[in-house]
Amino acid sequence: MTPDPDTYARGHALFEARSDQRSRIVSWLGDRLARRAGDDHLSVLSVGCGDGTVDRALAARACAEAAPGATRSWTGVDPHSPGVASFVAGLEGLGREQLAVRGHVGTFDSLLTGPDERFDVVVFVHSLYYVPDLDAALGRAVAMLAPGGELLVLHAPLGALNELVADLAPPAAGGPQPWSDAVAAALARLPVDVAAEDLASTVDLDGGDGDDPALLDFTVQTVLDDAARTAVVERLRRSAEPGPGLRVAHPVTAFVVHPRGDTPPLRSGA
C-alpha cells in the first residue's frame, strides 16, 4: 500500500528537510549551467519539475550570471497540475525580464514540441523512475537536444537506503524500480558519450519511528505498521553513520550525456 497523496507530500517535505541532497543537486546543476553563462540564449527543459524548487534556484543563478542582453527560457513538465502552477509562478516571480517560462501538465511523452524546437539542456531530477520505458524516454530526451546540448540526469543508486525501498515498496506496474545502474545500461544502448559521478549526501531519519510516521513511510515508499516500522529503524541503524541521530547515506548519481560526435562547444571556465 502506498501513502495517500497528502501523507506522501508531508513525508516528502520532512525527508527533504532532513537531507542535504537537494542542496548538492542544486549546486552541481548550477555549476554545469554556469559553463553556458556566455551563451546569448539558453533553453532548459526540466522533466518532472515538481513545484519548481530546484529550477527556481537554477534559473535565478543562470539569469544572474548571464551577459547583458542574453535570454533564458525554462520549460517544466510534470503530471501534477498544482506543482506545475507553482513551477511557473515561482520562476515568473523571480522578476527576470530575460527569462521566459512555460509549464506543461502531463507526462514527458505527452509534451509536444515544434518540429525545430530543441533544448540546450534537458534535466531529469529523480523523475526517470516514473517513465514507462526508460530507453524510450532517454532516447527522446537526447533527440530533443540542440547541437552542443547536454542531458543531465540525477538518479538514485541502489544503496542501503534504497535496498529497503526495493524490499518493501509495492512493485511498479512496469516492474521493479530502476536505479542508476539501469540508467547507465540504457544510456549504453544509445549513441551517446556519458560521464557519471556519485554526489555524496546523507539524510537524518532520527525520530522517524516516533515523530511523524509519514517520514519513514515516504522513505521506504509504503505504509508501515508498528512492527514493520520498528524493524525498519533497526535495519537503518545497522547502516547508519557514526554519531548522533540516524544519518544514513543518501547519494545520487549525476550523469552528463552528449550525443556521440556532437562535441560540446568550449566555454570559458569549462
pLDDT tens digits for 105-150?
A: 999 999 877 777 899 999 999 999 889 999 999 999 999 999 999 9
| Residue 112 pLDDT | 77
Judged against a pLDDT cut of 80, whether residue 47 lies above it is answered with yes
Q: Label the pairing between strands 41-47 and 119-125.
A: parallel
In 3D space, the residue among 155, 148, 128 whose CA is nearest the CA of residue 40 turns out to be 148
What is the DSSP track for 55-96?
A: HHHHHHHHHHHSPTT-EEEEEEEES-HHHHHHHHHHHHTT--
| pTM of full prediction above 0.85 | yes
Query: What confidence tier does 173 reach under pLDDT thresholds 50, 70, 90?
Result: low
| Residue 169 pLDDT | 77
Q: Label the pairing between strands 202-204 and 247-249.
A: antiparallel
User: Grid coordinates representing 195?
Assistant: 560521464
User: Grid coordinates representing 233?
Assistant: 529503524
Query: What whole-number distance in Å separates Cα of residue 190 and Cα of residue 227?
Result: 45
User: Grid coordinates representing 207?
Assistant: 525520530
User: Grid coordinates representing 118?
Assistant: 530543441
In 3D space, the residue among 194, 163, 197, 160 whose CA is nearest the CA of residue 177 turns out to be 163
Average pLDDT score over the chain: 90
Give the whole-number percent of the chain exceeding pLDDT 90. Answer: 63
| Residue 268 pLDDT | 37
**Is residue 196 within 8 Å of residue 255, measured between CB atoms?**
yes
